[in-house]
Amino acid sequence: MGVVIETDFWEPNTISYLFLFLFCLSSLLLLPYFKTASTRIIPVFDRRRMLPTASPSVPFLHFQIWFLLVYFLCSVIEGLEYMFGQFEYDHYGLSREWMVVALTLGCAASLLVGTFLGVLSDVIGHRKACMLFCILHIFTGVLKSVTNHQSIWVASICLGLASSISSCSFETWMVAEHEKLGHRKELLSETLWLMTFFGAGSVVASLVLTNSLASWSAGKGIVLPSTAAAILAMICIAYISREWNGSPPTSGIRGYKMSFSAYILSDKRIWLLAWVQACLHFSVAIFWILWSPTIVADGREVHLEMIYPCLMGASMLGSTAVPWLIGGPLSVAMEDFLMGAFAIAGLVLSIVAFDYQEIGVLVTLFCIFHACVGLISPSLAILRTTFVPIELRAGMISLSHAPANAAILFVLIEGGYHCSLGNATIWALSTFGLLTSAGCMHVLKRWRKQTQKDPHSF
């Protein structure tokens, strides 16, 4: 007896978009009415601060809006390159193995060179590092417009380096400039969670722009999205070079090494933060590598581009929960809700790893995971503000990504190229990292209480 299988494209219900939009909007609009008078924002690092505190010279709202605008545009640039990259691989007919090679090159660049770009950013100044981010994207756009598919390998390396810069330099410049301009410390956490909010929104904007440009340039060549990214990068570099201030001079590499050893390597709490950041970075990277093959397993047909807004909407919703938890009516200790968020994220990925799920259930689980990521990312940035000196912040972030990038490289080679590592095993590795991160948050909470009793214990 034959079995007839009806094939149908799956896509999220329209109600899902409406639900996420209304909840994000409600969270943003209702927060001012429920926010407590005395917010429990973790204070900015000041015990070992080298930067002087000045009186406010630039209105905070002006500073925040223009920074977030530039950050949003730079995130759109990244999104254009990565979204368009998938279309580019298909257009040139690259096999699965060569796609993995391209990803491996970018990851290897992030590991071998990108690990030290944060240190370079601290030494030469974060403004120059952010300009280098734009220059790399301009170079990538020009390269693709003149060399066609041969540029994919060089572009992968450039994008890997640019991603390493964006992961640390923009945040660090904002924190340093916030302090130098003398803005109130409790306002810093607001900008940090808004970075996550706008960063997630930029992915949706990149998807829409990429699809529009790819459709418009059909039959005219496929370099238009890369050209658009290069143009946006030129706009950003023009604004950064004119409006952004540079960092104060440092004491050089030798002085930086001494400070890093004294303040970063000797503090066990920062080691915990570094491990947690590495696990989060690894899990998010693994998600974007495996989420599509997991959903379309067994030949299931899905409109993947319709799922992107749901995932990013969930991340935006998670980021809006940060002010409610640290300064709103809930007032939960940061280590407590981070423990819960890491545990939930780990549990979600464990279900994906060890149990076959229908598409709707998978998308729901992935949205929960991204809501946790949206909550965790700005919260870790606030914790870094507590423990890490501003002058060493970018170096700490980039070095903490090194073990994650090494693990991603291993997964790409063994799981993607040699196919000797199953997807379930890779998901399980992400689960392990997230659950250990929950344990690290528990230890950090215990150590914080110990430090309050004995300030010299660390």
Q: What pLDDT is attached to residue 91?
A: 67
Hey, what are 441's tokens? Answer: 């948050």
Distance of alpha carbon 424 from alpha carbon 415, whole angstroms: 11
Question: Tens digit of pLDDT for each residue in 215-231?
Answer: 776 555 556 778 888 99
d(CA 323, CA 20): 18
The full set of domains in the chain, from first to last, is 14-453 (1.20.1250.20)
345 pLDDT higher than 90: yes
The answer on pLDDT for 162 being more than 90 is yes
Whether residue 41 has pLDDT greater than 70: no
| Pair 277, 373: CB distance under 8 Å | no
Position with higher pLDDT, 62 vs 46: 62
Distances (CA, A) of 414 to 95, 354, 422, 434: 17, 20, 9, 21
Is the Cβ–Cβ distance between 394 and 119 less than 8 Å?
Answer: yes
Q: How sure is the predictor about 32, in pLDDT bands with cuts at 50, 70 and 90?
A: confident
Residues 398-423 pLDDT 10s: 999 999 999 999 999 998 777 888 89
Confidence of residue 457 (pLDDT cuts 50, 70, 90): low
77: pLDDT strictly greater than 90: yes
**Phi and psi dihedrals of 12, rounded to 5?**
-65, 150
pTM for the predicted model, two decimal places: 0.90
pLDDT tens digit sequence for 184-242 = 888 899 999 999 999 999 998 988 888 777 777 655 555 677 888 899 999 999 999 88
Q: Would the pLDDT of 52 be above 50?
A: no
* Cα-based distances in Å from 103 to 115, 141, 165, 291, 312: 17, 18, 17, 16, 22
pLDDT mean across residues, the chain = 84
* pLDDT the model gives residue 48: 38
End-to-end CA distance of the chain: 72
264-281 pLDDT, tens digit per residue, is 999 999 999 999 999 999
119-128 b/e (C-beta count within 10 Å ≥ 16 → b):
bbbbbebbbb
Task: Give the largest CA-CA distance in the chain.
Answer: 81
Contact between 273 and 383 under an 8 Å Cβ cutoff? The reply is: yes
Query: What contacts 101, CB < 8 A, 6 or more positions away?
Result: 153, 417
Average pLDDT over residues 28-56: 51
Q: Name the 3-class secondary structure at 307.
A: coil
Answer for the pair 425, 200: CB distance below 8 angstroms, yes or no: no
Residue 55 pLDDT greater than 60, yes or no:
no
Does the CA dihedral 165-167-172-175 come out positive or negative? Answer: positive
CA 104 to CA 217: how far, in whole Å?
Answer: 29
Token output for 367: 């949205």
3-state helix, strand, coil in the chain (%, to 5): 80, 0, 20
Nearest to 388 by CA among 92, 45, 36, 157: 45
Q: Would you say 209 and 314 are in contact if contact means Cβ atoms under 8 Å apart?
A: no
φ, ψ of residue 446 to 5 degrees: the values are: -65, -40
Dihedral (CA of 229, 232, 234, 240) sign: negative
**Nearest-angstrom CA–CA distance, 268 and 440:** 11
pLDDT band at 10 (very low <50, low <70, confident <90, very high): confident
3-state DSSP call for residue 10?
strand
Mean pLDDT to the nearest integer, 286-311: 87
Stretch 14-41: mean pLDDT, rounded?
74
Euclidean distance between CA atoms 40 and 325, whole angstroms: 9
What is the three-class DSSP state of 331? coil
From residue 159, alpha-carbon distances to 127, 137, 141 in Å are 19, 7, 11
Q: What is the 3-state secondary structure (H, E, C) of 335-389?
A: HHHHHHHHHHHHHHHHHHHHCCCCHHHHHHHHHHHHHHHHHHHHHHHHHHHHHCC
Q: How many CA atoms lie within 13 A of 383 on its CB side?
A: 28
Task: Decide if pLDDT at 349 tops 90.
Answer: yes
